[in-house]
Structure 1
Amino acid sequence: MKVLPIFLLLFYMALDGLHAKELPSNGNDEVIFPITELQIYADERGFVNFSDVLNGEVEFVISEDFQPKDYSVDSYYWIRFPLHLNNIESKQWLIEFYDQTIDVIEAYIPTLDGSYKKITMGDHYPFYQKSFDHKNFEIQIDPKLHGEIVYYFRVKSHTYADIRIAVRSINRFIEYSLFEYFLYGLFYGMIFIIILYNLLMFIAIREVKYLYYTFYIFSVGLYATCVDGIAYQYLWPNSPQWNQIAHGVFLFSLIFWAMVFGHRFLNVKNSAPRLHKAIWAVIFARVLLFIYAIVFDNSLFEYRNIEILPLSLIFYTGVYVLVRGYRPARFFVMAYGLLFLGFLIKALLNISVIPFSIVSYYSLHICFLMEMLFLSYALSDRVRILKSNRDRAMQRIILQHKENVKLKDKVNRELERLVDKRTTEIQEKNIMLEEANQKLNQQTAEISKINSILDLDNWKLKNNIKEILQDRLINKNLTLEEFNKIFPDEVSCFRFLDRLKWENGYSCSKCANTKYNDGQQKYSRRCTRCGYDESVTSNTVFHKIKFPIEKAFYILYLTNNRQNKYTLDELSEMLSLRRNTVWNFKKKIEQAFSDKEDSHLIITDLFSYHINKKVS
């Protein structure tokens, strides 16, 4: 508090007379002065004190072209507010600051003795320091004061401060406050009802999108209470530090759940896979930025315009899905379009692109309300569409069932007619069969005797054929056509090598293990101990050949047969192979025979065994 000399006070009051603001008259109960009509001084360094102001060391000016973008968060703003008071006025008056987010307001109030009383307010201080239990900042005008007096205010805020001063009567203040809180009650009551409704829907049908929507609406409500100052008044009145970052925390929560709900509602994972990845990338980046802001730099919460990016992405996704034919996205696009519009208007208002008005100031609340209504209708519309699709499906099922019943009756009648006809035919044939059975019984005995004789002859014939084929295989050349009947394809050759190679049991060539599993190739075996995968052709003349193995078998057969009279050229032409290929394989066979003396007998015997198995 500072006491001034009477003559100094009268001097300044005289200077202010021409510019003093008159109290409302003619039945008016309020008048609002925007910053463009106020005398202000921007103290950029914060060195000016109240005595400097009273001594005339600063020059107050009226900036008629002042815009929100001109506001500097580093400056202290002094406001000189002259007011003409009529002592015969029976009403009581107060001065009010609308912006409840201002950090510090130092109000210098004139008193009856000519001195000034200092009152400190702001959201940097507990709520109980306010003169009135109201979300805004109010100062009551002493009804004993009269004439021209001057109020001084020193304002400092780390974010843009909407510096407007309203002078209104106590009756008008009570009237508009009650009406304003009544509207807030309707707004937050609708939010509460929507939350409760969607929570009950989630409990009833266990559809997770209702739970996401509940979290989103809850975040909308908390963010709106921070913007309105309701949260500071009722939820955390004694926590001014938390109040500084609460709006940023709940704005993040709002955007996060908006994207998660939109992603789930639009079924983006299936309808737009690329946008699915983009949405989750933006969510991840936004979460990292939130963690950094909450831990290291709380000032990042003031950059609210970045929320345009995730909102634009989810809005574009809704439009994209709608264009691709997803009907439930209709009202979703309308809802998020309104939300996007609300944030856009708020951002444009903060950078002074659009003028300040009641509608623009509360545009976000209006858009929130409209968006919640559209989203709620979108959820019910989606259920309606699903129900309509289900009903159409049920109608198709019923029609198909009726057609199936008609078809069934028609088929049954046709079957009954055919059964009657067939029964008559069967009865006639049964008579013929009884006569035939008598003849068959007589012939059965004769056939049994003949079968016994034929079985004996067949056994002798098979033995003769085996002997003949063995002789031909050992002593004579089989033609390629005859040989192909014995080994027609690769599988038969592999099967033959499998019997030949492991007829005495499997033994790993690396570690001698006798247990194995099936290998990757046909008839290969993998050792269970060392994992060596041994093919059926390894350690044989057929390993890594570059032509069909059945042709290699025939070359081995001819090489093994002493009566082979085919030249290399004839054999090459017969097998459709190059001459060098035939010559190299014959050389490989001869080398194998020279390494093992009894190879010739083994191959011959096994070929004969295979042919005998084929015949038998």
Structure 2
Amino acid sequence: MHIRIRLRMAVLLKLFHLLVFLLVAALGFGQRISGEATLRIDDNWNERIYAIDQLEFFEDSSNSLVFEDIIKVPFQQNFKINANFSKNDFNTAYTYWVKLSIANTTDSDKKWLLEFYDQSIDKIEAYFPGEDGIYQRRFMGDNFPFSNRLFNHKNFQLEIPNDQDRIENFYFKINSSQKADIRIAVRSLDRFIHYALSEYFLFGLFYGMILIIAFYNFLIFLAVREMKYIYYILYILSVGLYAMSLDGVGFQYFWPQLPELNFIVNGVFSFFIIFWAVLFTIRFLNTRRRAKKFHYLLWFSLFFKSLIFLTGLLIDKSYFEISYFDLVPFLLIFSAGIYLLLKNFQAARFFVMAYGVLFTGVFIKVLASYAIIPHHTIIYYSLHFAFLIEMVLLSFALGDRIRIMKEIRDKALRRSLSQYKENIALKERVNLELETKVRRRTTELEKKNRLLEQYNQQLQEKDEEIKRINNLLDKDNWKLKSSIRNSYKARISQQSLSREEFANIFPDQSACYRYLEDLKWGRGFSCRQCGKSKFGKGPKWFSRRCSHCGHIDSVTAGTIFHGIKFPLEKAFYILYASFMVKEKITLDELSASLNLSRNTIWAFRKKVNQKVLAAGDGQPSWEEMILLYPLPS
């Protein structure tokens, strides 16, 4: 693992050294000369660069001066060189008049140009002498369409006439809504072509690497389907667009006819850099679980930055100039990475290195902006180098995280495999024990089955004996029932039973139902609907269902007791007391004895009388009286 890390660092350092070498070889360090009142053109050199602290300028706080005012001889003494002035001292509310004196050399074999480095300056009015000595005016700046420029180049160029052997003064009126880095380069056309081609070549390398890294991570996303790769891709694309807006390349190629966007795109793309960087950090470092305090601080910084961005977008675009707050989210990102690295979160190694390089580039850029360190081309593009190295390191971080996750997965698989082997061995031991127990239990069950078979054989023999005894009992029972029926008939026909004696014969409804069942169907069942003899049990006790037609016949149907609403044993006694005894019992006596109303007893006796009269043939017997059919309605 350590060998792979050292190889990656070696490749990264080689790449950095190669880019530095290409930039230095292609562009060189512009010769920053000491303050001079007049620059003389000389073919022995190709380039001279003047910073604001080397130029004669006047700060117009009233913004009321025009070219006719400053061209006057008495006013010329106001143009002075201020060696302590820097970009940080630039006041966006003032107008700056810059003067550059150039001594022509007519025998020069080169064509010469004058160029402004800072392509973010809003408006430059350049006044230069023509062949007739009359000053001409040319407008430059990012407030004008890109087609207004002398060359298709991101910077502002002005051709220097070198036909007259004289000293010519160039005046520039500069206004900018953001702090301008007033830096003028005087260079030959050959030097400009070489510089421009080399610069755009390096731009192609820079933006090409951004696209390659984005495409590479997109392919990884298609394989692993993790959202942090999308956040990282959007982050590096935002970095590329932000760098284009700073370089002026975006204005040249994407919105050349919309100069009003130049003031907006920096704020928009810088916001998206922070937005996607915070989301990527939260997902990559898993701050919600590993570092909750940093998790909430990152969300709060993103919320506050979003408020500033929306205020600038909807209310006042000057809020886009508030750039010092942009350091807060990146400081939190860097601190979160260091915190997790100290907690031995290995995936944060390249992450911390990446943002360490970024902060180094930002620090160098800030030092150059405040003129703390001298301006050089390599320093001017320090942020580009920092972004590029950061993106490479973050790609390493993502790959390293996958490698760490793969190692964790492999360890888990090895543990799972070891556990699986242990489980298989345990399963085999358990199966062996179970087979032994099953064989032992099977032997025991076979013995018990043989015993059960013996017991079953004995039970079958006993069952046969019981059936034989039951048959004998059935015969005895039938004889006994016949004797009881004869006894009932004899006793009832004696017409001398008391209430208690009659109650002993028919003590409850069940006894009455059994008597009726034997009386109706004792000699066999015959369906009253179809006359068939096969039957089954009915839905109620003491009822039968015809197997042929399904007719249900209750035990009281077809008897004198059909449809009564009082207890059956009382109806039995009313029938006996009213029609079978010699001495009739009055209604009042029956009512008191049976606890029934006189009307109920009278109605039942009337019903019986009507059936007896309808049947004719004199006084019927007890059984005949019971089986009398009801009168037709």
TM-score normalised by the chain length of structure 1: 0.64
1:215-261 C-alpha deviation (Å, 9 max, x unpaired): 21121111110000001111111111111121011111111111111
CA contact (8 A) 1:96 1:137 kept: yes
| Cα separation, 2, equivalents of 1:186 and 1:120 | 32
Mapped contact 1:42–1:77 kept (Cα < 8 A): yes
Distance across 1 between alignment mates of 2:378 and 2:182: 18
2:39 is the counterpart of 1:21? yes
Give runs of aligned pairs for residues 473-512 of structure 1, distance below 5 A: none
Quote the residue 1:147 is aligned against. 166
Output the CA distance in 2 between the equivalents of 1:179 and 1:369. Answer: 18
2:291 corresponding residue in structure 1: 272
Alignment match, 2:103: 84
Distance in 2 (alpha carbons) for counterparts of 1:188 and 1:417? 75
Partner of 2:600: none
Tell me, in whole angstroms, the C-alpha distance in 2 between the residues paired with 1:402 and 1:142: 89
Instruction: Tell me the CA shift for residue 359 of structure 1.
Output: 3.2
* Alpha-carbon distance in 2 for matches of 1:440, 1:278: 87
Residue 249 of structure 2 aligns with an amino acid whose one-letter code is I
- The alpha carbon displacement at 1:262 in A equals 0.9
| Unaligned 5+ runs, structure 2 | 1-35, 464-633
**Alignment partner of 1:160 is 2:179:** yes
Give me the whole-angstrom Cα distance separating, in 2, the residues matched to 1:430 and 1:234.
97
Task: Name the SS of the counterpart of 1:328 in structure 2.
Answer: helix
CA distance in 1, matches of 2:171, 2:413: 76
SS of 2:62's equivalent? coil
Residue 282 of structure 1 and its aligned partner are, at CA, apart by: 1.9
Q: Deviations over 1:339-369 (max 9, x none)?
A: 3333343344334444433333222111111
Letter of the aligned partner of 2:95 in structure 1? Y
> Does the C-alpha gap of structure 1 residues 357 and 91 become closer, same or farther in structure 2, counting only changes over 3 Å?
closer
Contact 1:100–1:123, Cα closer than 8 Å, also in 2 = yes
**2:63 pairs with 1:46:** yes
Against the structure 1 CA distance between its residues 355 and 19, is the aligned structure 2 distance closer, same or farther, given a 3 Å change threshold? closer
- Answer yes or no: is 1:137 the counterpart of 2:156: yes
Distance 1:359 1:440 in 2: 111
Q: What does 1:18-417 correspond to in 2, within 5 Å? A: 19-26=37-44, 28-54=45-71, 55-57=73-75, 58-415=77-434
Aligned equivalents of 1:29 and 1:180: distance in 2?
Answer: 17
Counterpart Cα distance in 2 of 1:440 and 1:200 = 82
Task: Summarize deviations over 1:481-531 as a string: whole Å, max 9, x none.
Answer: xxxxxxxxxxxxxxxxxxxxxxxxxxxxxxxxxxxxxxxxxxxxxxxxxxx
C-alpha distance in 1 between matches for 2:328 and 2:390:
18
Q: Is the 8 A contact 1:282 1:310 kept in 2?
A: yes
Counterpart Cα distance in 2 of 1:335 and 1:154: 42
Amino acid at match of 1:56: P
Question: Gapped runs of 5+ residues in structure 1?
Answer: 1-17, 445-616
SS of the equivalent of 2:172 reads: strand
| Contact kept? 2:281, 2:333, Cα under 8 Å | yes
Q: Secondary structure at the match of 1:133?
A: coil
CA contact (8 A) 1:308 1:343 kept: no
User: Structure 1 115/80 Cα, relative in aligned 2: closer, same or farther at 3 Å?
Assistant: same
Q: Secondary structure at the match of 1:56?
A: helix
Question: How far did 1:419 drift?
Answer: 5.7
Match of 2:612 in 1: none
TM-score normalised to the size of structure 2?
0.63
Residues 105 and 154, structure 1, Cα contact 8 Å, conserved in 2: yes
In 2, are the aligned partners of 1:23 and 1:167 still within 8 Å (CA)?
no
Aligned mates of 2:67, 2:453 — CA distance in 1:
133
Q: Give yes or no for contact 1:32–1:165 (8 Å, CA) kept in 2.
A: yes
What do residues 99-149 of structure 1 show as CA deviations (whole Å, max 9, x unaligned)?
A: 101111111111221211111111111111111111001111224233322
How many percent of aligned residue pairs carry the same amino acid?
45
- SS in structure 2 opposite 1:168? strand
Q: Name the SS for the 2:386 alignment partner.
A: helix
Shift of 1:266: 1.4
Mapped contact 1:305–1:347 kept (Cα < 8 A): no
Aligned equivalents of 1:351, 1:303: Cα separation in 2: 16
1:416-443 per-residue CA deviation (whole Å, 9 max, x = no partner) reads 5566666677778888999999999999
1:64 positional shift: 2.0
| CA–CA distance in structure 2, aligned partners of residues 347 and 38 of structure 1 | 22
1:442 and 1:276 mapped to 2: Cα distance? Answer: 87
Kindly indicate whether the alpha-carbon contact (under 8 Å) linking 1:103 and 1:124 is maintained by their aligned counterparts in 2. yes
Change (3 A) 1:440 1:346: farther
Secondary structure of the residue aligned to 2:351 is helix
Q: Aligned partners of 2:445 and 2:177: how far apart in 1? A: 104
Please, what is the CA RMSD of the aligned residues? 3.0
Structure 1 CA distance for aligned equivalents of residues 214 and 40 of structure 2: 48
Range 60-69 or range 250-259, more displaced: 60-69
1:538-569 CA distance string (max 9 Å, x none): xxxxxxxxxxxxxxxxxxxxxxxxxxxxxxxx
Q: Deviations over 1:64-94 (max 9, x none)?
A: 2222222222222222211122111111111
Give 1:177 deviation, angstroms. Answer: 0.4
> For 1:353 and 1:304, how far apart are their aligned partners in 2?
19
Task: Give the letter for the 2:302 counterpart.
Answer: I
Aligned partner of residue 96 in structure 1, secondary structure: strand
CA distance in 2, matches of 1:375, 1:29: 40
Distance in 2, matches of 1:94 and 1:352, equals 26
Q: Distance in 1 between matches of 2:82 and 2:263?
A: 29
Partner residue, 1:564: none
Shift, 1:200, TM fit? 3.5
CA separation in 1, counterparts of 2:115 and 2:338? 45
Q: What is the rounded CA distance, in whole Å, between the counterparts of 1:420 and 1:125 in structure 2?
A: 99
* Contact 2:43/2:109 (<8 A) preserved: no
* Number of aligned positions between the proteins: 431
What is aligned with 2:511? none
> Is 1:308–1:344's contact at 8 Å kept on the other side of the alignment?
no
Question: What CA distance in whole angstroms lies between the structure 1 residues aligned with 2:320 and 2:125?
Answer: 25
Structure with max Cα Rg: 2
